[in-house]
Amino acid sequence: MSVMFSSSPPAAAEPGASEALIAFLDLASAIDAVRSAKACGFEMLRMQAGEHLLDIGCGPGTDALALAKQAALLGGRVTGVDLNPAMIAAANRRAAGLRLPLVFLQADIHALPFGDAHFDAVRIDRVLHFLSDPRKALMEAMRVTVPGGRIVVTEPDWSTLEVSGGLSDLTATVLRAGISRDGAACIGARLDRLLMECGLQLMAHRQTQLSLGDFRSAVVLFGLEGVARTAVQAGALGPRDAARWLRSLQQAGERDELNVTLKGAIASGLRLAG
Ligand SMILES: C[S@@+](CC[C@H](N)C(=O)[O-])C[C@H]1O[C@@H](n2cnc3c(N)ncnc32)[C@H](O)[C@@H]1O
């Protein structure tokens, strides 16, 4: 099975970044392919009656709200956490008045403010690829999951980013120098291994793929301006060539010849007893 999802948000430290990040996440959540990837992840949670779910890195709460609607029908509840207080404020605004079994808290995945075995299922959607030690973060998510509970993780593999339709020589240069292959950037390629190394029993694994042909959406969702900037900072090309590259992608989009693709994975694991 192949499903799709998106990734690269603006860096949270930039001025006005929280609003831009929320707009980015709303744009991503509205794309059919992203919605079907999220639906796939929801199914992999295998929510049952009366269960308490945790959504880590919940952003402005779109997914936690959808899960809380399902949980409400089953007598369950949902907690969403995010490191960024602006996300929690937005999530609380969106949940206000809906009377759903849902709470949002600001928290860091590395130090969750919950006791051991607090949740029946935990979801982590595109958070680990930002972290320097995703294994440590996953272990903390496991700590708050009951033995027998499920953890579902969705992550991209940035080494798979492909861009076609623009100036191919410049594309090769920009992607070679502008995409990080270090740390957790390629974690989507080894998600199943990571879950198993942390002691989870692998339950399911799905490949994901997001392909976009619209220039503006591709620039925003794949952070192409940032990729070009990184390549310039690395000295791989000059700013003029970077601008020429982006223009060539825009023109390819106008000719319906642009295709930008990113692959990744969704994996679910069972926390074993003991
Ligand atoms: C790509 S966004 C995904 C948001 C949401 N899961 C969605 O699909 O709309 C990643 C989120 O992880 C949050 N995040 C990043 N580092 C985190 C950490 N250490 N602990 C908790 N959340 C974190 C960010 O603030 C951001 O809202």
pLDDT digits (tens, 9 = 90+) for 102-152: 999 999 999 999 999 999 999 999 999 999 999 999 999 999 999 999 999
- Tokens 């998510």 locate to 141
In a domain, 191, yes or no: yes
C-alpha 172 to ligand 1 mean position (Å):
30
Element (H, E) at 78: strand 77-82
Task: Please report, for the domain that includes residue 108, its CATH number.
Answer: 3.40.50.150
SS3 127: coil
Say if strands 200-212 and 145-164 run parallel, antiparallel, or are unpaired: unpaired
- Residue 161, φ and ψ in degrees, nearest 5: -60, 125
Cβ–Cβ under 8 Å, residues 249 and 178:
no
Q: Is 9 in the pocket of ligand 1 (CB under 6 A)?
A: yes
Q: How many domains does the chain have?
A: 1
In a domain, 242, yes or no: no
Burial class (CB in 10 A: 0-12, 13-18, 19+), 107: buried
In a domain, 165, yes or no: no
Q: How far is CA 246 from CA 173, 174, 252, in A?
A: 13, 10, 10
Global confidence as pTM: 0.91
Q: Is 109 in the pocket of ligand 1 (CB under 6 A)?
A: yes
pLDDT digits (tens, 9 = 90+) for 35-70: 989 999 999 999 999 999 999 999 999 999 999 999
In a domain, 234, yes or no: no
Q: Is 130 in the pocket of ligand 1 (CB under 6 A)?
A: yes
Q: Is 127 in the pocket of ligand 1 (CB under 6 A)?
A: yes
In a domain, 65, yes or no: yes
Mutation test residue for ligand 1: of 81, 109, 127, 154, the one with most atoms within 8 Å of CB: 127
In a domain, 170, yes or no: no
Q: Distance (Å, rounded) from C-alpha 54 to C-alpha 62?
A: 14
